[in-house]
Amino acid sequence: MKIAKADVIVTCPGRNFVTLKLTTDDGLTGLGDATLNGRELAVASYLGDHVVPCLIGRDAHRIDDTWHTLYRGAYWRRGPVTMTAIAAVDTALWDLKAKAAGLPLYQLLGGRSRDGVTVYGHANGADMAETLDEVQRFRDMGYKAIRVQSGIPGLASTYGVSKDKLFYEPADAAVPTENLWSTEAYLDFMPKLLDAVRVRFGYDGHILHDVHHRLTPIEAARLGKSLEPYRLFWLEDPVPAENQEAFRILRQHTVTPIAIGEVFNTIWDAKTLIGEHLIDYIRATVVHAGGISHLRRILDFAALHHVRSGCHGATDLSPVCLGASLHLNLAIPNFGVHEYMRHTAETDAVFPHAYSFRDGMLHPGEAPGHGVTLDETAAARFPYKPASLPINRLTDGTLWHW
């Protein structure tokens, strides 16, 4: 089973996606997601210019050898562009291996460890009342875990609040738009919001919240402490994590569980966080953390330290990433929860898939491989559109973390 052809396909069915398609000499095809939100063409170029020429003629069964050839062979290790490109190759190779075996991918990863992959959805609203109604809507749809985000009194717009309630898309303009942020307003509002959620819905059902890297360690410690009565499933990305040791401060002050990792691309981003038990859930994904092979290594290391999976599943990760991730999460011993931001109907039409949502869980399906395909004719109808994530400023104009 040799790689005969490798195509990089860029399409924008509502948002941009980059997909690597590998074709073998015996006619099998495998897909890998290569989407890096706001930097899509950098990965497409990395793949097309530097990776594809090395793939042609290689034995498609040699997944680990190919991974290390791309990782060590570049000399320049790590980084989101490199690791997303490697992830695409790795995912496509796992898809091929499982198709060659005639098995759904989870069978090659150790088989099913649970009935399905419990997912959390995103309830969000412009204010507290609307957010509470959205929580109700997600409960009615069968979600057992719900992320709660809301507009903050006094701020014109906030991360995590979307115009179209079911489909969140922050990459809204070719040149980044600007948001304004007040940590003070946010810290005052959050305990009130979560109190209102628990008063209305009680304690059955998991509640999550994403800070999107906007606090300092001591501010995050205060938030975690103030939210303890509301028993969060997790507090996500409380602080930017380049400085992993900073999370020691949070741990000294609060027992609110911490999740982080959606922007991580290798185990080196999380070695101290996991090794010192500074977090509870690791959010690294298939597409940005080097594919199934590397993410599995991260999750195995996490399992040794009682850290569970909470893989990123935003709309800017394509159905190919989601499908592959579901197989991995069905198989691992230390599953926690999986994010599920629904894709639009246009995206789903371009990426027909075997996974389905039922009873608060996603089920990867029994199709051989990861079960996600690409309708290239449909994809061709949606050409690439430049789109960037916003930037964020404090009310005095200082550039802050978006």
So which residues are the catalytic ones?
Answer: 159, 212
Residue 1: name its binding partner from ligand KDG, Mg ion, none (Cβ under 5 to 8 Å by kind): none
Q: Binding mask 192-221 vs Mg ion (x if CB under 5 A, - otherwise)?
A: ------------------x-----------
> Under the criterion CB under 6 A, does residue 212 sit at the interface with ligand KDG?
yes
Any idea which residue has 């940005």 for tokens? 288
State which amino acid sits at residue 94: W
Q: Which is nearer to ligand KDG, 135 or 367 (CB)?
A: 135
Closest to 17 in 3D by CA, of 302, 314, 303, 275 = 314
Phi, psi of 305 (to 5 degrees): -115, 20
Torsion of CA 106, 108, 109, 110, to 10 degrees: 100
Q: Which is nearer to ligand KDG, 308 or 312 (CB)?
A: 312
> Under the criterion CB under 6 A, does residue 40 sit at the interface with ligand KDG?
no
Tokens of 80: 């989101």
Q: How far is CA 105 from the centre of its chain?
A: 19
Q: Binding mask 227-266 vs ligand KDG (x if CB under 6 A, - otherwise)?
A: -----------------------------------x----
Where residue 79 falls (left for φ over 0; alpha for ψ -120 to 50; beta otherwise) is: left
Q: Which is nearer to ligand KDG, 24 or 37 (CB)?
A: 37
In the region spanning residues 315 to 374, those forming contacts with ligand KDG, defined by CB under 6 A, are: 316, 339
Q: How far is the CB of 144 from ligand KDG (least distance, A)?
A: 18
* Bridge partners (DSSP) listed for residue 258: 235
Cα–Cα distances in angstroms (integers) from residue 226 to residues 122, 146, 185, in the given order: 22, 19, 14
CA pair distance 42, 396, nearest whole angstrom: 33
Q: Which of 37, 285, 309, 318 lies at the binding interface for ligand KDG (CB under 6 A)? A: 37
| Inter-residue contact 392 to 402 (CB < 8 Å) | yes
Q: Binding mask 370-399 vs ligand KDG (x if CB under 6 A, - otherwise)?
A: -------------------x----------
Residue 314: name its binding partner from ligand KDG, Mg ion, none (Cβ under 5 to 8 Å by kind): ligand KDG
Q: Coil, helix or strand for 282?
A: strand
Length of the chain: 402
Q: Which is nearer to ligand KDG, 170 or 323 (CB)?
A: 170
Burial class from Cβ neighbours inside 10 Å (0-12, 13-18, 19+) for residue 175 reads exposed
Closest to 323 in 3D by CA, of 282, 362, 350 = 362
Q: How far is the CB of 143 from Mg ion (least distance, A)?
A: 17
> Under the criterion CB under 6 A, does residue 33 sit at the interface with ligand KDG?
no
In the region spanning residues 248 to 287, those forming contacts with Mg ion, defined by CB under 5 A, are: 262
Q: How far is the CB of 223 from ligand KDG (least distance, A)?
A: 16
In the region spanning residues 142 to 181, those forming contacts with ligand KDG, defined by CB under 6 A, are: 170
**What is the number of other CB atoms lying within 10 angstroms of the CB of residue 27?**
7
Q: What residues line the site for Mg ion (CB under 5 A)?
A: 210, 262
Residues of this chain that interact with ligand KDG (CB under 6 A) are: 37, 170, 210, 212, 262, 312, 314, 316, 339, 389
